[in-house]
Amino acid sequence: MSDRNRFFHLSRRQVVRGLLASSAFGLTAKLGSGCAQSTSSPEAGDQGGAVPDQLVVGFLYVGPKDDYGYNQAHAEGAAAMAANVPGIKIVEEASVPETSAVAEAMRSMIEIDGAKVLFPTSFGYFDPYILELAGEFPDVQFFHAGGLYQAGVHPNNVGSYFGFIDEAQYVAGIVAGHTSKSGKLGFVAAKPIPQLLRNVNSFTLGARSVNPKATTQVIFTGDWAMPVKEAEATNSMVDQGVDVITCHVDSPKVVIETAERRGVFSSGYHANQSSLAPKGYLTGAEWDWSSIYTSLGEQFMAGKTLMAGDIPHILRGGIADKFCKLSPYGPAVSDQAKADADAALAALSAGELIIYEGPLQTNDGKEVLPSGKGLKIDDLELEKMNYLIEGVNGSVS
């Protein structure tokens, strides 16, 4: 969205709030494309009771809903909530930047659309925007995807949810390790934050579990949506002999399509990108937000809230908890790769496979874990990850 369009978009919202405040329009006032888009037709009902007959839930995305990536995964989850939970009405707004624009959009969903639950899905929405609005609207629940909530520090009507998607990356790494002929894998990455580094390292550990000589070249682009740099990084890796490429950026579309054009294999992230690479797509690490959002929607309609303590303020889970899943295997995946990947999925689901086990060291020779020690997927030490493991070519600095 351009700055010019954003200005008029927000101005229309401000005008409607003023009209509503002066009773010129009711809550059924509409602004066409300028208003948050509704994906359900019924109008909002009385939400004052403990168990609502109907509940308006708002979703905000930092990019387009059809980006084949982060935002699409959340949007698919929102659609599932609306489809699977009677009484839920979804309102959405896409391409909302991590600026005061998101505060304006959230305010509009609350005051105009009557939203009582909000899912501002981008990492940068949290501070100060969610925190400010949560203080202003204590009866509205705010759920942030990113894991930043701190008990006793942040408002009681704010919650945090995130998944251990590096479990799925580990399994995708097994498929990549089996498929690569050169043993050279590539990873196009945005920023070296702990969640992303976990994905790089887990993907590499999965690959090296079936091919101990496999290596992963990582290139950081510097931000979450840098399509030109993402294409350049992909092409550079292919030129260096990399034959399987994955990524952690907002939209994997450019990486997957570039890899397909160059005739190398790809592994997806966030959502299913198999339609973008019918020949080279192997599998991918996907979010399973449809499952999580449907479950939360059912709890909302049962009258459960963060404020009453019915819903935990911190929600976490992995493959076993249906926070994430593996994309279907592509045509290039061998039977052996499928068998090993399926075995790893089963072991992760049963809690029998620990990805981070010693001896393990960084790619500059520092010990991470001694022999005989392991870190389970929910260990807080993994949330502090600031290193790349042996087998990864690249630097976090």
184 pLDDT above the threshold of 90: yes
Q: Which two tokens stand for residue 311?
A: 């819903």
146 vs 365: which has the higher pLDDT = 365
Q: What is the pLDDT of residue 147?
A: 78
Q: What is the pLDDT of residue 52?
A: 83
Residue 207: name the closest of 222, 192, 217 by CA.
217
* Mean pLDDT for the chain overall: 89
Q: Which domains does the chain have, with CATH numbers?
A: 3-13+51-163+289-317 (3.40.50.2300), 166-286+329-393 (3.40.50.2300)
> Any alpha helices (H) in the chain, and if so which ranges?
3-21, 70-84, 100-111, 131-136, 166-179, 194-210, 227-239, 253-261, 289-301, 335-349
Instruction: Give the 3-state secondary structure of residue 217.
Output: strand
- Average pLDDT value for residue range 229-246: 98
pLDDT digits (tens, 9 = 90+) for 364-376: 999 999 999 999 9
- Average pLDDT value for residue range 112-137: 97
Q: Band the pLDDT of 148: cuts 50, 70, 90.
A: confident
pLDDT digits (tens, 9 = 90+) for 307-336: 999 999 999 999 999 999 999 999 999 999
Q: What is the pLDDT of residue 318?
A: 96
23 pLDDT above the threshold of 70: no
20 pLDDT above the threshold of 90: no
First to last CA, the chain: 32
Q: Which two tokens stand for residue 218?
A: 């990582």
pLDDT digits (tens, 9 = 90+) for 188-213: 999 999 999 999 999 999 999 999 99
325 vs 50: which has the higher pLDDT = 325
The structure tokens 């580990």 sit at 170
- Average pLDDT value for residue range 6-14: 38
**Angle, CA of 285, 291 and 297, to the nearest 5°:** 145
- Average pLDDT value for residue range 91-109: 97
pLDDT digits (tens, 9 = 90+) for 270-302: 999 999 999 999 999 999 999 999 999 999 999
Q: What is the pLDDT of residue 47?
A: 38
12 vs 139: which has the higher pLDDT = 139
Contact (CB, 8 A) for 313 and 149: yes
Contact (CB, 8 A) for 344 and 167: no
- The model carries a pTM of 0.86
33 pLDDT above the threshold of 80: no
- Average pLDDT value for residue range 255-267: 98
Q: What is the pLDDT of residue 395?
A: 96
Range scoring the smallest mean pLDDT among 29-43, 67-81, 84-98, 117-131: 29-43
32 pLDDT above the threshold of 70: no
Greatest Cα pair distance in the chain: 71
**36/251 Cα distance (integer angstroms):** 22
